[in-house]
Chains A and B, each alone.
Chain A
Amino acid sequence: AAIGRAGAMAAAAAMVVAAGGGDFSDLREIKKQLLSVAERSRERGLQHSGKWAAELAFALEPLPLNELPPPPVLTEEDARDLDAYTLAKSYFDLKEYDRAAYFLQGCKSQKAYFLYMYSRYLSGEKKKDDETVDSLGPLEKGQVKNEALRELRVELSKKHKAQELDGFGLYLYGVVLRKLDLVKEAIDVFVEAAHVLPLHWGAWLELCNLITDKEMLKFLSLPDTWMKEFFLAHIYTELQLIEEALQKYQSLIDAGFSKSTYIISQIAVAYHNIRDIDKALSIFNELRKQDPYRIENMDTFSNLLYVRSMKPELSYLAHNLCEIDKYRVETCCVIGNYYSLRSQHEKAALYFQRALKLNPRYLGAWTLMGHEYMEMKNTSAAIQAYRHAIEVNKRDYRAWYGLGQTYEILKMPFYCLYYYRRAHQLRPNDSRMLVALGECYEKLNQLVEAKKCYWRAYAVGDVEKMALVKLAKLHEQLNESEQAAQCYIKYIQDIYSCGEVVEHLEVSTAFRYLAQYYFKCKLWDEASACAQKCCAFNDTREEGKALLRQILQLRNQGETSSTDVAAPFFLPASLSANNTPTRRVSPLNLSSVTP
């Protein structure tokens, strides 16, 4: 752990330096550090960081009395500022920031100075938000800014140059820089803050928000502490590097944090991101058991329940959350999902709107609201909602996809291509966009492009298992019976390997086509096997029987070379050996321009 500054040393004197290199051998030590940093964060009004540390500390074994961290030693300066600090802190807790700042003027101790600056910052933020409501004209609303930021930046940079800032001060400096859109400087300062005070989760979290890709992460020199492991796991989740994130979290659990609700929730979110719904659901259920009054991440949980159409569970969750706190974004979102599942889309939209009123930067709600408007057939409102979502975050692939869907519903297949392409660019390996693109191309009669899309969708792992059927049908249309048959075979193999045959109507179509195909190729054994399979489905039963009869006739006419009438069913075992499509995944090169 690198603490190179005298000022910071003095501040950190009371606590033990964090252990290095992801070393989790001494959990007691870690717990001590967590407890002490939670206390120190609380003293400075940094409640979220304090909460995080406390949560993590709670997951570890309790300490005996003699090992509890001693109360922080007060320095001479602290003692001098103690009265002002105590008064200001109480004002601060009551959200009277200006008043707090006034009484802290001239305080020299680190703690009081931080609280002084922090109250000024928060006061500016609060005024900014108030002013947005009360600005002179609607066009001016983008202009409202936190007036205090510049002054704060000037003062903090002076202190920074003189190396008088401790970890918390650096963190505040970084926040100010970020708010002024000075991203590069902000990152540098946050990294410095992480070095000086690795235990402060807030600095790490801010860093997470500023790092946009893996390359940036590589070039950061981060302190080598156990906190870094948490940071890496978190940022891997943010950057959608789910495999790495899950590994990190697993190793954290193995190290002794198995009871941490934070880690459990993060793992659940990660599984949600890779659409492993069952695992995510079970983890969320576990989380609910351990922390029944938790509201964070419950919107993700409700999304999962929604996808699985688990009405009673979702209803229970919604009521439960509503009892805990009905004016939280997450609660509104859960209730919205609940109404949506019950097909009460007006109410659902209302709740998403409420979520947005509570926090307009809550991105997911815009998209979800768009979906609701789509359900209500209010396409124009849906388009607006999606556009808003895109405005908040250009990389929101669901909104692009939603826009595409809207235009597809309006029967504008060419128009929606653009939107689907955008979505596809953002999620190149998501089969849903590719299937949607393929469908559009099919509607536009651009079959070559459509084939490319379907094949690619299959190649990247088709979620809905529809790409192959569609591809097969295309081949059928183009009289490419060989490829069509291969696609159907592959499709059936896929379905059977999953083990859920019931829901797929297309299986019968596949068997019917295969039966006819083999019949044409005069492969009687295979044809009869497929025809028999056809008989298992209602819609193809008659055809199957007819085909069987024909096969029997033809066989009797010709010499009965193959005696074995009841050929063993070859699918998926025997045929797969030689008949699987061997085409390699061609790079997706859609000929059209992709603006």
Chain B
Amino acid sequence: MASVHESLYFNPMLTNGVVHANVFGVRDWVTPHKMALLVLLSELGRAGAQLGLLERRRLNRLLLPLLQGPDMALSRLRKAIEECCPHLAGSVHIRLKLMAEGELKDMEQFFDDLSDSFSGTEPEVHKTSVVGLFLRHMILAYNKLSFSQVYKLYTALQQYFQKDEKKDGADENEMELTNPEELDGKMEKEELDGPLREEEIACSGPLSQKQAEYFLSQQASLLKNDETKALAPASLQKELNNLLKFNPDFAEAHYLSYLNSLRVQDVFSSTHSLLHYFDRLILTGAESKSNGDEGYGRSLRYAALNLAALHCRFGHYQQAELALQEAIRIAQESNDHVCLQHCLSWLYILEQKIFDSCVLLEHSVNKSLHFGLPYLASLGIQSLVQQRAFAGKAANKLMDALKDSDLLHWKHSLSELIDISIAQKTAIWRLYGRSTMALQQAQTLLSMNSLEAVNVGVQQNNTESFAVVLCHLAELHAEQGYFAAASEILKHLKERFPPNSQHAQLWMLFDQKIQFERAMNDGRYHVADSLVAGITALNSIEGVYRKAIVLKAQNQMSEAHKLLQKLLIHCQKIKNTEMVIRVLLSIAELYWRSSCHTIALPVLLQALALAREYSLQYLASETVLNLAFSQLILGIPEQALNILHMAIEPVLAHGAVLDKGCAMFLVAKCQVASAASYTPQKKIEALESAILNLNEAKTYFAKVDCKEQLRDVLYFQARLFHTLGKTQERNKCAMLFRQLHQELPAHGVPLINAFK
């Protein structure tokens, strides 16, 4: 039954069953705040040449945000103006006061005078300038007001002014202004308003359509480029709800709410908002007659496509596939090739989760180029390159492809894709083991000026590519032993990508990896073990691998072996070649640690073959080092020296400091071992060059603080000096060795037998 107080209610916005948000065709309307701005503008015009250049510039910079932003209280506005030009603030206040405390005709006069600024041979304001447009909008909006609305506006202005006055004069003349009865009433009111108050603060008043659009686009671009600068999820949602309360037809707000829900991983409300948005969009699409039926069908297709994207993001791949099928079917029915291309790209992403399919992607790239979709085509090329790199395709071709796509980017000024491409290159160079190239690319991206000049205040964008590049940079520094620099970079990452933001997982993983490496170098295995759990949470394969390494270091060989075998099978299945090689190397190490060098050899050869095939150069050299070591132990040091010559160069050029040290140590060992058969003269030469190499190894180890290795080197060096009869040097080394040996617990493995 209807409520007792249902009065007759007429809604003018309802025509033909469709509610028009914009029945008056006004995108903007006059509010007291806008009037204050108008006063400011007219004062600005009147002040003219009296203003200093600096003041004028400051004011001009202030104006745009004021014109676009939401309404604010008079006191805040006045403060903002005062900061630029105190003189002007005073005159604005006086004029507002005159208007508010005067009569209605003052306001009418004011608006009549406004249009004068356009007239004259040399008008103060150009008609099509930003200010001119604003002025004309306001004049038009004012002229459209009905009789009662004009009066309402005037009372609103009075209230707006009085609120400010009251705040000012609250402390001084409170007693004079308010008689006891009013005070009583006020107190009652305040007491009763308790529960309502908070709500009132939250909603700072309705936004006009223009203001709302500005707000939405601003927040959306912030969400995309720099999440930390956007409003916090909760408060953004509050603003959006507020906006929707006043205008439920504002479809874009639903979309932003969808994006916002994605930020906090809320499936329910994001689905709800997304569908709501498209329900609304379908309407606007239907209304635009230029496209006819086309506009409306179009949003349907994209609705299904977006739903697929949503499910994909939350990991509901089956659901995503169903939605995608639907989108593809509808797009096919209506011959929308552009939409189909988008669907194809998404199809690739989905299929990727299940199995590799280059064919889809190639199609996608070709077709996208054909339909003139550079963005999509380039994205396709990027993923194609990525996939091919993992699949071990020729590096020169990949680099060529990237170069071509770069051409495309620069041609179409796709700044976002340029970033992605550079980040991709960094990653690929790293994969190939060319750390210097990777370093160079990373620096290029970081020091490049963004093409988007929109965010003047924001120098760089907080996109994924930046996170990737910075992470690589941190790891590269750590590898070279610059731990302070690495932690500095990580600190910067933490600031730029707070822990709950989208790309935070990246740096978290790298942070833990670096810490893990350090702990391993220092021989603090328990610390490393505790980090494994964190790594596993972020990347399970990496986690298992690290676990095996810790087990290996703790001499739990059989457990480590079991784990590594399992990992090997898994990685071979998912075709993660890089990890396969690393696992093979670890397995080989396990074998030679258990003195089964003959078994280790075939494993190493397998690893070497794989590394060569996939052109993972660095891993290949590491394999060669292992191989050489095995050969050394097996008693063919000459052979070992031979193949070491192959590996030593890339290791010294691109390797981590630790690896460099190991390599040099190994070279020295080989030299000594092969010197046994030399003539005495040659032998001394060989030993001396070995000592030099050992010195180099020592500096490398000292850089990364590897005491164990350092101890081994010292021991070896002492023995060499002893052979050469250099007692003084020998004693020095022996003393250093003694110091280190007391510090460190004895190692299970014989000293000379260890390579790493």
Contacts and interface: CB of A to CB of B under 8 A. Distances in A.
Given A360-B11, A411-B329, A137 B185 contact: no
A142 B9 contact: no
Given A141-B246, A380-B282, A150 B189 contact: yes
A136 B16 contact: no
Given A136-B149, A140-B246, A384-B18, A410 B300 contact: yes
A73 interface: no
Contact of B4 (A138, A205, A384, A412): A205
Nearest to A360: B11
Contacts of A135: 149
A48 B4 contact: yes
A360 B329 contact: no
Interface string A365-391: 000010001000001110111011001
Interface string B280-324: 101101100000000010001001100100000010101100110
A150 B186 CA distance: 12
B330 A353 contact: no
A385 B282 CA distance: 12
Nearest to A175: B5
B268 interface: yes
Interface in A103-137: 122, 125-126, 129, 132-137
A369 B276 CA distance: 19
B17 A369 contact: yes
B7 interface: yes
A49 B206 contact: no
Contacts of A356: 11, 14
Interface stretch (B26-34, B60-68, B120-128, B544-552): B26-34
Contacts of B282: 379-380, 383
Contact of B17 (A329, A353, A414): A353
B203 to A, nearest CB: 9
B267 A593 contact: yes
Q: Which of A122, A126, A154, A446 has the most CB of B within 10 A?
A: A154
A444 B192 CA distance: 56
A593 B16 CA distance: 37
B323 A593 contact: no
A15 B739 CA distance: 107
Contacts of B4: 46, 48-49, 202, 205-206
B21 interface: yes
A411 B279 contact: no
B267 A414 contact: no
Contact of B14 (A139, A140, A353, A592): A353
Interface string B465-484: 00000000000000000000
Contacts of A205: 1, 4
Interface string A396-432: 0000000100000011111100110000000000000
A415 B307 contact: yes
Interface stretch (B207-215, B668-676, B690-698): B207-215
Interface string B317-346: 011001101100110000000000000000
B272 A595 contact: yes
Given A126-B7, A380-B296, A412-B300, A134 B286 contact: no
A182 interface: yes
Among B3, B16, B276, chain A packs the most CB atoms within 10 A around the CB of: B3
A142 B212 CA distance: 15
B275 A418 contact: yes
A387 B323 contact: no
A253 interface: no
B326 A412 contact: yes
Contacts of B212: 139
Given A138-B24, A209-B3, A349 B300 contact: no
Contacts of A444: 322
A175 B6 CA distance: 13
Contacts of A175: 5
B248 A391 contact: yes
Contacts of A182: 195
Given A380-B283, A383-B279, A133 B10 contact: yes
Interface in B93-152: 145-146, 148-149, 152
A153 B279 contact: no
A359 B2 contact: yes
A176 B76 CA distance: 35
B52 interface: no
A143 interface: yes
A346 to B, nearest CB: 11
A202 B246 CA distance: 31
Given A353-B17, A414-B322, A359 B208 contact: no
A529 B465 CA distance: 74
Of the four ranges (under 10, 10 to 19, 20 to 34, 35 or more), the interface on chain B belongs to 35 or more
Nearest to A49: B4
A357 interface: yes
A132 B148 CA distance: 12
Contacts of A154: 185, 188-189, 192
Contact of A387 (B26, B246, B280, B319): B280
A385 B17 contact: yes
A84 B350 CA distance: 79
B323 A414 contact: yes
B247 interface: yes
Interface string A204-216: 0110010000000
Contact of B208 (A137, A387, A446, A593): A137
A143 B206 contact: yes
B276 to A, nearest CB: 7
Interface in B591-617: none
B268 A595 contact: yes
Contacts of B458: none
Nearest to A410: B300
A158 interface: yes
B277 to A, nearest CB: 11
A125 B206 contact: no
Contact of B16 (A140, A353, A380): A353
A134 B29 CA distance: 13
A319 interface: no
Given A136-B145, A380-B285, A415-B303, A361 B208 contact: no
Nearest to B316: A593
Nearest to B193: A150
B166 to A, nearest CB: 18
A157 interface: yes
Given A136-B30, A142-B246, A380-B283, A595 B7 contact: no
B23 A138 contact: yes
Nearest to A140: B206
A239 to B, nearest CB: 14
Contact of A383 (B22, B283, B318, B325): B283
Contacts of A412: 300, 303-304, 326, 330
Interface of B: 1-14, 16-19, 21-24, 26, 29-31, 145-146, 148-149, 152-153, 156, 185, 188-189, 192, 195-196, 205-209, 212, 245-248, 267-268, 270-272, 275-276, 279-280, 282-283, 285-286, 296, 300, 303-304, 307, 314, 316, 318-319, 322-323, 325-326, 329-330
Given A46-B4, A414-B304, A415-B326, 5 more contacts: A137-B208, A142-B246, A381-B283, A384-B283, A411-B329
26 contacts: A133-B10, A133-B11, A133-B12, A134-B148, A141-B246, A142-B206, A142-B245, A142-B247, A154-B189, A158-B188, A175-B5, A205-B1, A353-B17, A358-B8, A360-B14, A380-B282, A380-B285, A387-B280, A388-B19, A411-B329, A414-B319, A414-B326, A415-B275, A415-B304, A415-B326, A593-B316
Closest 7 CB pairs of A and B: A595-B271, A380-B286, A137-B29, A142-B246, A595-B268, A48-B4, A139-B206
Interface of A: 46, 48-49, 122, 125-126, 129, 132-143, 150, 153-154, 157-158, 175, 180, 182, 202, 205-206, 209, 296, 329, 349, 352-353, 356-362, 369, 373, 379-381, 383-385, 387-388, 391, 403, 410-415, 418-419, 444, 446, 592-593, 595
